[in-house]
Amino acid sequence: MLNPNAPIPLYHQLADILLAKIRSGEYPPGSRIPAELKLAAAYRIGRPTVRQAIEMLVKKGFLSRKRGAGTFVRERQAEVELFSLDGTAASFHKKGLATATRVIEAVRLEAVDGQPENPFDGRDAYFFSRLVQVERTPVLIEEIYLHPTFFSGIDQMDLKNASLSEIADERYFMRPDSARQNFRIGHPGAAKADLLGVAPEAPVLIVSRYLNFPQADSAVYSALFCRTDQYVFSQTIGGTTHG
């Protein structure tokens, strides 16, 4: 049930419940969800609150309204990995490789300074970093920066085994609609080299990734430090991301 004392608005709580039912298959693609009046009675809230929750899911593409017929679950289109917050690590997993992710630095709000390539330079952003291991070998480090307004409260969440893309999608209703990446060869420095298991002067692939959302451009920025002595990182133009 809904919690009126929670900091999350009631319409957002209801949207979360409806989305969970969609994800679980209780409301499969093509099915009609209960009418607004029925949902209002079931959750003991006003019809405007129900309408607001449904409208949020309509805007995000999970539901569609059919005049005179009701509200229906939409067929979900396949995700493009380049636009996924979990694209790089997830691509290894999809290839059947044993993948483990370890948080190096927990999520915190910090002032970003001295990083001209970072869109948050001179501003605050949520930051955390994680190490991706494939077949027990450290492969890459991700340093991730998130918009402090659109991802408010993410520092209170346990991201150890969580999918960042699912959190962004289901909790914040943030789904990227475009992205760009810059590539260069550089040195990881002593601390990152130790985590990656390479020499500090060893060359690594450095990827700067910018994810744009309908709410704001570059709302997520990440810097990836990738070992290339273990795997070849490639990108298909117009298709997928790192493999």
Q: Catalogue all structural domains in the chain, each as residue range(s) with its CATH number.
A: 10-73 (1.10.10.10), 81-226 (3.40.1410.10)
Question: Which parts of the chain register pLDDT below 70?
Answer: 76-97, 160-162, 230-243
Q: pTM score > 0.85 for this model? A: no
Look at residue 112 in the predicted model and tell me its pLDDT. 97
Look at residue 215 in the predicted model and tell me its pLDDT. 87
Look at residue 176 in the predicted model and tell me its pLDDT. 83
Look at residue 141 in the predicted model and tell me its pLDDT. 93
Q: How far apart are CA 24 and CA 173, in angstroms?
A: 18
Give φ, ψ of 138 to 5 degrees.
-65, 130
Look at residue 1 in the predicted model and tell me its pLDDT. 78
Look at residue 42 in the predicted model and tell me its pLDDT. 95
> 175-230 pLDDT, tens per residue?
888 888 899 999 999 999 999 999 999 999 998 999 998 889 999 999 999 888 76
Within 113-191, strands assigned E span 124-134, 137-146, 178-186
Do 151 and 99 form a contact (C-beta atoms < 8 A)?
no
Look at residue 34 in the predicted model and tell me its pLDDT. 95
Look at residue 23 in the predicted model and tell me its pLDDT. 82
* C-beta neighbour count of 60 within 10 angstroms: 17
Look at residue 76 in the predicted model and tell me its pLDDT. 64
The residues pairing with 209 across neighbouring beta strands, listed in sequence order, are 181, 222
Q: Please give the single-letter amino acid code of residue 143.
A: E
Helix axes 36-43, 47-59, angle to 10 degrees: 120
Q: How far apart are CA 126 and CA 152, in angstroms?
A: 9
Extract the tokens encoding 233. 């990182």
Q: How far apart are CA 10 and CA 162, in angstroms?
A: 24
